[in-house]
Amino acid sequence: MRLLKKSILYTVIIIVLGILITLGLEAFIKQDTSSRIYTEIRNVPNAKTAIVLGASVYSSGKLSPILKDRVDSTIDLFNNGKVDQILISGDHGSDDYNEVDAIANYLIDHGIPQTSLLLDHAGFNTYDSMYRASKVFQIEDAVVITQDFHLPRAMFIAKHLGLDYYGYQAKERAFRIETKIMKREKLANYKALFEVIFKTKPSLSRKKV
Strands in 141-146's sheet, in edge-to-edge order, are 37-38, 164-169, 141-146, 49-53, 85-89, 117-120
Q: Is 80 or 192 the better-scoring residue by pLDDT?
A: 80
What tens digit of pLDDT does each residue of 142-199 get?
999 999 999 999 999 999 999 999 999 998 765 565 555 666 777 787 788 788 887 7
Answer yes or no: is pLDDT of 205 > 50: no
Q: How far apart are CA 209 and CA 203, in angstroms?
A: 13
Q: What is the number of other CB atoms lying within 10 angstroms of the CB of residue 154?
A: 24
- On average, the pLDDT of the chain sits at 87
- Residues 62 and 192 sit within 8 Å (Cβ to Cβ): no
C-alpha dihedral (186, 187, 188, 191), degrees to nearest 10: 130
Phi and psi of 200, rounded to 5°?
-65, 155
CATH number, domain 2-198, options 3.90.1570.10, 3.30.420.10, 3.40.50.620, 3.40.50.300: 3.40.50.620
Q: Where are the domains of the chain?
A: 2-198
Could you read off the pLDDT of 110-133 as tens digits, one per residue?
999 999 999 999 999 999 999 999
Q: No. of H helices and E strands in the chain?
A: 6, 6
pLDDT at 14 over 90: no
Q: Rounded CA gap, 91 and 100, in Å?
A: 7
